[in-house]
Amino acid sequence: MYSLVINNIDQIPTPTDTLRVVISGGGTGGHINPALSIAQAIMAKKPKAQILYVGALGRMEMERVPKAGLPIIGLPVRGLDRKRLWRNFGVIIDFIRARWRCRKILDRFKPQVVVGVGGYASAPMLKAAQGRGIPTVLQEQNSYAGVTNKMLAKKARYIAVAYDGMDRFFPADTIHITGNPIREEILSSTLTPEEARQKLGFDPEKPLLLVVGGSLGARTVNQAMQANIDKLASLGFSILWQTGKNWPEVDPATLPAGCKAVRFIEDMATAYRGASLVVARAGACTISELQNLGKPSILIPSPNVAEDHQRHNAEALVKANAARMILDADAVASIFGVVSELSSDPDLVVALGQNAAAMAHRGSADIIAQEVINLASSQQPINS
């Protein structure tokens, strides 16, 4: 038996004659959740498969991945500093060291396929694999491709995307529209909306406004809620507000009746099932969850992400009349007006949800997992 957090390369499990896959990337839940979904789908198809996760030391995957039951080894890498370019000399040195460590990982584990889900941890791992001729698979969550995946795309064998028009970033012959892998627990709830609201402690007959800004929190979303929660409750909603772990705890006594503020929602499946309308950031995985569940939403894209990809994600839904968008700078002033507009037009809310559902790509994790298995089998026969 070995620790799921691997500190030394010689602690990596000895390779067997079964399917062996490295999955690399992380830094945010938007990268980690798809990676874990792909891993679960691989294991469902090949129960004896060996999967090793390669992440970045000090990032959230080092905690999240072992909790999901997968072994992980960390790399000493960090992202580029786009504002203080002189600091990137150290970033380059870290990358070189990480690339050397990745070669040692490949020598030890001998994977047949390496999967990259984005984030700077995946760059040295997939570069090392491509240098060895090991097939690589990329999974790009966003409508505007990240720097790491663009850099790795030329030598990738299969690129899974969630949006049309990605040939402006990647070679067209390797692009496959699969959608984003969704956590199985999000999709598997069988509760009715009324049952879900009751389970969450709300009036089952009252519509629920679900507000989520990510597990760490979103300052502007929280400021908008602080300034408007009394007015929002006056529209007839119960409100479940996830403030995030980095936001000060909200005193329940300051909230209107029928409203709850929590640091983190453990049971997102039930929260989604009970929600009549969702206010959220526009991360790719959140959007895919909204699409798969057919949830009407108001999206507030974060301006603090690379290539402004959250705004691009949100605009794709707005163009399809599948969501409303509020720019981050307008959130405090505009959130009440947009929620009020939707609360007074039930037919529009239904249409937003239906249009979101029409955009969904289902079974993404299974599709990508099967391609990983196919690529591995093309290298050598594998056992279950």
| Position 48 confidence tier, pLDDT thresholds 50, 70, 90 | very high
pLDDT of residue 366: 96
For 159, the enclosing helix (H) or strand (E) is strand 158-161
Q: Give me the mean pLDDT over the 243-268 stretch.
A: 91
Range in 71-75, 89-93, 304-308, 355-359 the model is least confident about: 89-93
Q: Give me the mean pLDDT over the 8-14 stretch.
A: 91
> From residue 254, how far is each of 227, 230, 251, 295, 343 by CA, in Å?
12, 10, 6, 29, 24
Higher pLDDT, 119 or 194: 194
Q: Give me the mean pLDDT over the 336-360 stretch.
A: 97
**Positive or negative, the Cα torsion across 251, 340, 299, 82?**
negative
Count CB atoms within 10 A of the CB of residue 126.
28
pLDDT of residue 89: 59
Mean pLDDT over each residue of the chain, to the nearest integer: 91
Which fold, 185-358?
Answer: Rossmann fold (3.40.50)
pLDDT of residue 146: 83
Q: Give me the mean pLDDT over the 339-356 stretch.
A: 97
Higher pLDDT, 147 or 169: 169
Q: Give me the mean pLDDT over the 353-370 stretch.
A: 96
pLDDT of residue 69: 93
**Which percentage of the chain shows pLDDT scores above 70?**
93
Environment class of 245 (CB within 10 Å of its CB; exposed 0-12, middle 13-18, buried 19+): exposed
- Summarised one tens digit per residue, pLDDT across range 82-93 is 566 556 555 677
Q: Give me the mean pLDDT over the 39-67 stretch.
A: 93
Is the pLDDT reported for residue 80 higher than 70? no
Is the pLDDT reported for residue 363 higher than 90? yes
Q: Give me the mean pLDDT over the 104-122 stretch.
A: 94
Which fold, 5-181+363-379?
Answer: Rossmann fold (3.40.50)
- Summarised one tens digit per residue, pLDDT across range 196-222 is 999 999 999 999 999 998 766 689 999
- Summarised one tens digit per residue, pLDDT across range 311-335 is 988 998 999 999 999 999 999 999 9
pLDDT of residue 309: 80
To the nearest 10°, the Cα dihedral for 324, 167, 27, 4? 120
| Position 379 confidence tier, pLDDT thresholds 50, 70, 90 | confident
pLDDT of residue 85: 54
CA atoms within 13 A on the CB side of 256: 16
| Position 1 confidence tier, pLDDT thresholds 50, 70, 90 | very low
pLDDT of residue 29: 67
Higher pLDDT, 40 or 29: 40
Q: Give me the mean pLDDT over the 284-301 stretch.
A: 95
| Tokens of residue 230, six digits | 């009394």
Is the pLDDT reported for residue 51 higher than 90? yes
Q: Give me the mean pLDDT over the 121-136 stretch.
A: 95
pLDDT of residue 305: 75
Token match 């790399």: residue?
75
Is the pLDDT reported for residue 152 higher than 80? yes
Rounded to whole angstroms, the Cα distance separating 144 from 197 reads 35
Residue range(s) of every CATH 3.40.50.2000 domain in the chain = 5-181+363-379, 185-358
